[in-house]
Amino acid sequence: MAEIIPVPVQAEPIRTDFRHSQYYINRELSWIDFNERVLEEASDETHPLLERLKFLVIFSTNLDEFFMIRVAGLKEQVSVGVVELPPDGLTPQEQLRAIADRLRPLLMRQGRMLTQDVLPKLAAAGIVLHPLNKLPAAEQERLHVNFMQEVLPVLTPLAIDPGHPFPHLLNRSLNLALIVRDPRKHVHASDFHFAVVQVPSVLSRFIKVFPDEPGDQFVLLEEVIAANAGALFPGLDVNAAHTFRVTRDADIEVADDEAEDLMTMMEEQVRRRKWGEAVRLEVDSRTPAHVREILRESLDLEPIDVYETTGPRNLVDFMQLYRLDYRDLKDRPFNSRVLDSFRDEERSIFSVIRSGDVLLHHPYDSFSNVVDFIRAAARDPKVLAIKQTLYRAGGDSPVVAALVEAAENGKQVTALVELKARFDEENNIVWAKQLEQAGVHVVYGLIGLKTHCKISMVVRKDDTGSLRTYLHLATGNYNPTTARIYTDVGLITANPDFGLDSVNLFNYLTGYGSPSEWKKLVMAPLTLRSHILAMIQREIEKHSPSSPGRIIVKMNALVDDEVIRALYAASQAGVRIDMIIRGICCLRPGLEGISENIRVFSIVGRFLEHSRIFYFANGGQEEIYLGSADWMPRNLNRRVELVFPVEDPANRARLKEILLTYLRDNVKSRELQSDGTYRRRRRHGTEAPFNVQEYYLTQIRQSDAAVDLAPRAKRTGKGG
């Protein structure tokens, strides 16, 4: 365990306003820095090849969401003349220019990495992407026949002329811009025509070639379409074909206080998402200027909105290659820990929970433990009611299945489904309908707020005849798929104070009014902001030479300027602050006289660091909280969030060890500098490399080996 080093006490903090823009990093540029760290992982040769390809895809999908939401929002601010500036002081126009300047070199780096490094190495390993024009004539002829039979009937050529306006192309669709002319006429500028063909998403992007040879060899569908595009325009020549891609505004705005039926409104808005205003045009670097101009003007975009890329566009399709069965080109698989006590046939899960709180650290501890808890509640005849929040449940959810089973078993089941969970709206609409059909009471949360908290509540009549509440509270979603690739922490407890608060929480979410007092849980938007500020202020007040103030936090983002100002004040007072922040951080560490006592680290690796853990030294009476909220205005002001204390000493010790272990990482950890840049942590002297994610994977692998060597002792004793 890393040593906590005291820092000198400053008798009187220097009073500074902390509102000057020089103290803040721009939110959007900080996010781009995070995505650059994702791109760096794609270049890291310690990752297997297909994992490097996956990071390239993640870089692209992250950018898609960034443009669809954040850039679209900035463009909207420009159009309506927003004058209120963020804490960093950049206007919307300045932010858009800065975003473009930062992204262009990153996109070119991504293209080079894909075409000059990852794809050639995949080809050597047996996954080959052939240029169509380099294939033997016989194979090209076979592809032509396949095109005429299987592809041509699906295509729709769209002419662009005074009688045919530019089509409204789907968001994130891949398209071909075609230059067509009549060979019977003299070559003249007016004889050239422009047309667009959308590459159909209903067909596989990767067309198999050399099917009788070993390995997996492909050509891209758009190349086959371009080579055979003449079939779309009989009697005309296709002189050129250039791929391009459009990204559109996809932010859903729902005035849910005006929507009589939120479900119907969300379904309508999800359909409209495909047709929002264009915000970005991606073109091949070889696309002629006049073609770019036709596309840009037709999409009503500015020159700054046009982005050159090299290599294939729409990289999300390349996850098809990742799914090929090449285990040596992927991360080594692992088995998450499953709690034996939860599967003991002679002792109920509820008896286990009553004997002590259960702390789970995913993905090292299996999410099946959570599913077992909810499934046991669905089947236990002593369970009377289950209440559950669902933010991102994913596809084919065992949690949803357990809730359906519970309703069918006659239990009172309530599910709060957040229909406004961005880019999961369609999944959640499906779940809401399925749950309602099974007899679950489905609610959609509070007007004007997203319900982002993660809680499952089970009400059970125990052997004594009294009712007891059992809870699962977590930092992550009820999604077994992401629970394998995100790090999160969860707590299963029968703490009666937690239980009373959870009853009040669900009554708040489904009814009217709010409780005036909370025993243990801290909730946004009611009390969380004031609680965070009070905890930081308490560290200042209790800081002394014998008991130095100490804050360690792990979360996804730090944006809220009021919290940042409080952290600056704590640093000035001598409180030592370490923050492990995966993504956006608007605080500048290391500023002289302001934040010398603050360090900020970001860890990007095999797993997405998603857990939120908050440690306060509290004058030696250490407190640790877990929760669903980052320190962002949206989480503190516009979402229903839960943060809760960890009271069991053993669990607190484990969480403190987790935080200190993360601070040891010198392989995947980058440190934020005061100028806003990130640098990989340097190892000093003989310091050994330490990768925190690999450390925990090694622990569970060693545990697996121990289980293989020693037969498991059978538990005895029964209890309800």
Tokens standing for 74? 């900035």
H or E element in which residue 441 lies: strand 441-443
Q: Hey, how many other C-beta atoms are within 10 angstroms of the C-beta on 621?
A: 9
DSSP 16-57: ----SGGGB--HHHHHHHHHHHHHHHHH-TTS-HHHHHHHHH
| Residue pointed to by tokens 């697996």 | 704
Quote the Cα angle for 602-25-476, to 5°: 40
CA distance 26 to 98: 10
Q: Locate the DSSP E strands across 298-440.
A: 306-309, 358-362, 383-390, 412-417
The token duo for 133 is 């024009």
Name the phi and psi angles at 290, rounded to 5. Answer: -70, -30
188 has catalytic annotation = no
Transcribe 607-668 into DSSP letters.
Answer: SEE---EEEE-GGGS-EEEEES--BSHHHHHSEEEEEEE---HHHHHHHHHHHHHHHT--SS
Cα 491 from Cα 661, distance rounded (Å): 20
Residue 260: which of 447, 89, 518, 436 has the closest Cα? 447
Distance from C-alpha of 614 to C-alpha of 646, rounded to nearest angstrom: 10
Per-residue b or e along 339-349, where b marks 16 or more CB atoms closer than 10 Å to that residue's CB: bebbebeebbb
Chain centroid to CA 569: 31
Q: What DSSP element (H or E) covers 241?
A: strand 237-248
Between the CA of residue 230 and those of 147, 150, 224, 468, 678, what are the distances in Å?
12, 16, 11, 72, 50
51 pairs with which residues across the strands?
none
Interhelix angle 398-408/368-379, nearest 10 degrees: 10
Point out the catalytic residue in the list 47, 242, 362, 452.
452
Instruction: Report the half-sphere exposure of 255 (CA within 13 A, side-chain side).
Output: 1
Separation CA 127–CA 108 (nearest Å): 23
Give the whole-angstrom CA distance, residue 367 versus residue 483.
Answer: 6
- Alpha carbon distance 318, 340 (integer Å): 39
Task: Considering only CA atoms, give the Rg of the chain.
Answer: 28
Catalytic residues: 452
